[in-house]
Amino acid sequence: MNRTMMQSLLTGLFFLAATSGLFAQAGGAAVPFLLISPDARASGMGETGTAIADNINAIHWNTGGLAFQQKRQIALTYSKWLPQFNADLFYSYGTYGQYFKELDGTIALNFIFMNLGQFQRTSDNGTALGAPFRSNEFAVGLSYGTLIGDDLGAGVQLRYIQSNLSPAVPGQQAPGVGVSGGFDFGLLWKPRDFDLGGGFDLSERFNLGLNLQNVGPKMTYRNEADPLPTMLRLGTAVNVVRDEFNDLTFTVDVAKLMVKRDEFGSDPLPRSFVTSWGRGGAELSMGAEYWYERVFALRGGYFTEPSRVGNRQFITFGAGVKYDIFHLDFSFINTIEENHPLANTMRFSLLIDWE
């Protein structure tokens, strides 16, 4: 099997298995692991987070949320991917952020790693060629967020991305490795004065967020170039109950993949910002979070997307507990479709914050 065929096989395995439905949602884009929700808190709320973004995981959901944070935080996540297949796949994530008074903002460093498992290269007749090899993809990001108004935050992230699908093959020029870079830009509005009248005072209870993520050049392998999974997210969150013991928030996200690809190839940026609107639909996710005494949390959510872009539908559940500076969160996916690869996916995440 030559390198091109091997690369195509690995790419297919990755998209069809490791992303478990993200292939359709990512529209044939490369490195769809960048779209995986990194924190169990947002996952438990139906994959929402654009308008909340109130901890260091804002680097994924909305970098504008970094502007409102004035602590040091560490976030860690681990998830065994596609448990239905009992495959050697896992997703891991870590980030550190800190507020700098002299910069009037928060800076965060982030690392994401997706293990794709072990593969064996074979000849056309099935004979093993060389030792088995492992495939993986990873990204390293640097973020900054600052206030550009009393209640408006803006943030940006720069990211290096590398996809290691296969090692070099004797007689070929290069291994199945792709390299690219990208940036994110986000805005988060948290109005301090938002009285609608008639008893509807949403001051400091309403958030509105926008995030454009994974904007950059195509991921290029030896003979093929695939676009990054550029995503536009809009979200809103409303806190409906807040007293001494109880805190209840509802949130909704809408996300549109800004990728246009067909049998003739994919449109480059910025053209795809226009042409992608005629392809497929948008994701819709909604969720709720209830805190009791800001110590114990229960979460639930729902996620859906049109059949033209994947037809994923699932219900999520989650819980969290806070003890001193530690936040431990858990989420679980209950797919509506039977035998779906994402069924029973669990995520665990830990967040540590201190002054």
35, burial (CB in 10 Å: exposed 0-12, middle 13-18, buried 19+): buried
* Model pLDDT, residue 311: 77
Is the CB of residue 34 less than 8 Å from the CB of residue 60? no
Long-range CB pairs of 96-102, under 8 A, 24+ apart, other chains included: 96/56, 96/72, 97/56, 97/59, 97/66, 97/69, 97/72, 97/73, 97/143, 98/71, 98/72, 98/73, 99/69, 99/70, 99/71, 99/72
CA distance readout (Å), 204 to 26, 46, 155, 194, 244: 35, 23, 20, 8, 16
The CATH number linked to 187 is 2.40.160.40
Cβ-based burial of 149 (10 A; exposed 0-12, middle 13-18, buried ≥19): exposed
Is residue 345 within 8 A of residue 333, CB to CB? The reply is yes
Nearest-angstrom CA–CA distance, 197 and 194: 9
All residue ranges of the chain with pLDDT < 50 are 1-25
Q: What is the pLDDT of residue 16?
A: 36
Q: Residue 296 and residue 320: Cα distance in Å, rounded?
A: 6
User: Do the strands 326-335 and 313-323 form a parallel or antiparallel pair, or are they unpaired?
Assistant: antiparallel
The model's pTM is: 0.85
pLDDT of residue 17: 36
Q: What is the pLDDT of residues 254-294, one digit of tens each?
A: 999 888 766 556 777 777 877 787 766 789 999 999 999 99
The domain total for the chain is 1
Q: Residue 99: which residues within 8 A CB-CB, separation 6 or more?
A: 69, 70, 71, 72, 105, 106
Asked if 54 and 353 touch (Cβ cutoff 8 Å), the reply is: no
Enter the tokens of residue 250: 């509802």
Tell me which residue has tokens 């209840």: 248
CB-CB contact of 200 with 194 (8 Å): no
Domain range for 350 is 3-354
SS3 227: coil
